[in-house]
Chain A
Amino acid sequence: MSVLVNKNSKVIVQGFTGTEGTFHATQMIEYGTNVVGGVTPGKGGSTHLDKPVFNTVADAVEKTGADVSIIFVPPAFAADAIMESADAGISLVVCITEGIPVQDMVKVKNYLQTKTTRLIGPNCPGVITADEAKVGIMPGFIFKPGKIGIVSKSGTLTYEAADQAVKAGLGISTAIGIGGDPIIGTTTKEAVELLMNDPETEGIIMIGEIGGGMEAEAARWIKENGTKPVVGFIAGQTAPPGRRMGHAGAIIGGADDTAAAKMKILAECGVSVVDSPADIGKTMAEALKK
């Protein structure tokens, strides 16, 4: 099983022929992801990395049967690219692009309510199902197959968590980088829910950070519906209020979105909360033994 992507996923790359698109598409193909083509408006009919290039997502879907798209287009055009994919009937869109204006995402979020498409990101490392499909920019070799699912707002912390889970002998089923922007397609709760329903996932690592209320929402859902152990870490315990910490969404606005407030809610909802990011793997292993 696994969630979102697997070896049968047919993936197209939007922004295929650009520097980023080319580099990461190459890595994805090497990992074994079934990349069936790409989209660069104006370059349709050519081939790139031995795959067909299309002018529109609709063309790509018609000719290849693609059901997953990954977006590397620059921030000014990314909202358009997401909506194009949704309109063409792509079921999963992963948007890597960082720096999309927030009002563009307000429009996208509203647009997607009329579609069945699921959006992951933007400003995220993507999704990986170990040894099956990498639809993202993460270093694939870290994600050895196993039974732990990861949901994270941060790229490098996802790698850190995966590495610790693998070293603790647990391995990874699917890791979902949901992104660090104020408005994202798939929330922490939705991603946790997907993994909770996945028979191959036995435990979940949930990594959040300061800003917003998504971790609390996920925790409340876990309290009501959780059937597997969840380990939680919230980055930014030492972050000062009112300052943006790298991610556009990582800013403490009020008392409820500090790391301390979130950690408290997580703990109250039965999540095993770790203070130190160094303890994620160890704590997951212990939680599974209980």
Chain B
Amino acid sequence: MNLHEYQAKELLKKYKVPVQEGIAVDTVMAAEEAYRQIKNDTGNNFAVVKAQIHAGGRGKGKIEGKEQRGVAVGKSLEDVSNIAKNILGGTLVTIQTGPAGKKVSKVLIAQDVYYPGPNPVKEFYLSILLDRAKGQNVIMYSTEGGMDIEEVAHNTPDKIFKEWVYPGGGLQGYQARKIAFNFGLSGEAFKNCVKFVTNLYSAYCGLDCSMLEINPLFKTADEKIIAVDCKMNLDENALMRHADLANLRDVNEEDPTEVEAGQYNLNFVKLDGNVGCMVNGAGLAMATMDMIKLAGGEPANFLDVGGTANAQTVEAGFKIIMKDPNVKAILINIFGGIVRCDRVASGVIEAYNKMGNINIPIIVRLQGTNAEEAKKLIDESGLKVQSAILLSEAAELVKKAVA
């Protein structure tokens, strides 16, 4: 589950991780009020307006139809007010959102951290994630902060450092110090960085994050270490022990069809193709998508109906797939094991009759327990449903449907 920057920063503060302070607002009036408060707290006329969406590249992205960037510095109350007016309600298009962009309903009014002071400021990169191959958490960091880290990794791999955390002992002091030394820090900034990294790792574990990225990790002119931006992903499997975090989900950031599918307990991912599919099991669902492509079509979705394919799930699946006007055919591919194929077939027939006007070809491939009986049920139903038993037969039917 993805979180917004403002939500992630609030959580980090609970773990004593210093952040660029800010106030999230959803109206221009509230933005002005937030600016006054921040100016009052910091004594600085400057403040940053940051669009809150689940995608990166906000600083370079633009609001559709305007010259407004998704992150901008306001130099006065009027300035901040205008920027907020431009961003709120607009659609922000960044390199990560795709051309459709994302609607912005909240902005974070944040303190300007590039204030002058005795020492130069510095930007670093640091993230914590799972190293699947080692089965350990790894801290990845670089002196090249504020940039696209994949580009840094590609062009200058020697500037990326990694520190693996031994699961039995957790992050050790020497590891946090090594990171701060590699950043080239000393004195107060060094001490602050060691504390920052230690507390950030506690937050990563305590919140059951699957990814936590601070870019830039910032050294201020007065030697503070703070998180200026934060990208946080939570492990959905762990939400059962974090009831408070589950409430942070912003469904407006998700595809509405995917949200609806979730309500039926269907695992659905929207794609751009012309052949819908409904499958039991995630691996077979991906394989079915691949087969659609090989047959000359393009998969319109990923849909795993799970272990219990019955009339209700099939009907819900039909409804969700058919919301997409690009869908020209639907392939149902069920390998019946514990679930009997004849039951699934009855479910398909029931759902089909209930839906009434389905006017695109439906191909049903049922294999496994009672497959023959299932095929007979479909063939004798009088419905315009084509049946198959072998996967290769189903592929042929898809080929004909998209030809």
| Smallest CB gap from A242: residue in B | B96
Contact in complex: B136, A106 (CB < 8 Å): yes
Which one of B130, B205, B291, B338 contacts A182 once the chains associate, using CB atoms below 8 Å? Answer: B130
Q: Which residues of B contact A157 (CB under 8 A)?
A: 281, 283-284, 287
| Smallest CB gap from A181: residue in B | B237
| Smallest CB gap from A137: residue in B | B338
Say if the beta carbon of B210 comes within 8 Å of chain A. Answer: yes
Q: What is the size category of the interface that chain A forms with chain B?
A: 35 or more
Which of A44-52, A83-91, A147-155 contacts the other chain? Answer: A147-155
Contact in complex: B283, A154 (CB < 8 Å): yes
B328-387 with Cβ < 8 A to chain A: 335-338, 367-369
Q: Which residues of A contact B338 (CB under 8 A)?
A: 27, 137, 139
Which one of B132, B281, B294, B335 contacts A249 once the chains associate, using CB atoms below 8 Å? Answer: B132
Say if the beta carbon of B403 comes within 8 Å of chain A. Answer: no
Which of A100, A141, A153, A160 lies at the interface centre, i.e. has the most chain B CB atoms within 10 A of its CB?
A: A160
Q: A239-B289, A245-B282 are in contact. Are A102 and B337 (CB under 8 A)?
A: no
- Bits for B246-259, please: 1 = Cβ < 8 Å to A, else 0: 00000000000000
Contact in complex: B391, A160 (CB < 8 Å): yes
Say if the beta carbon of B271 comes within 8 Å of chain A. Answer: yes
Contact in complex: B282, A154 (CB < 8 Å): yes
Say if the beta carbon of B137 comes within 8 Å of chain A. Answer: yes
Q: Which residues of A contact B285 (CB under 8 A)?
A: 245-246
Interface SS, B side:
mixed
In the complex, 28 of the A-B residue pairs with CB atoms within 8 angstroms, ordered by the A residue number, are A75-B237, A76-B240, A106-B130, A106-B136, A110-B136, A110-B166, A139-B369, A142-B337, A152-B283, A155-B283, A156-B335, A157-B283, A160-B391, A180-B282, A182-B132, A210-B286, A213-B133, A217-B133, A235-B286, A235-B287, A238-B271, A238-B286, A238-B293, A243-B302, A245-B282, A246-B281, A277-B290, A278-B394
Identify the B interface with A (CB < 8 A).
130, 132-133, 135-137, 166-168, 205, 208, 210, 235, 237-238, 240-241, 267, 269, 271, 273, 279-294, 298-299, 302, 304, 335-338, 367-369, 390-392, 394-395
A139-B336, A246-B281, A275-B294 provided; 6 other pairs, C-beta below 8 A?
A160-B367, A182-B132, A238-B292, A245-B286, A246-B286, A278-B394
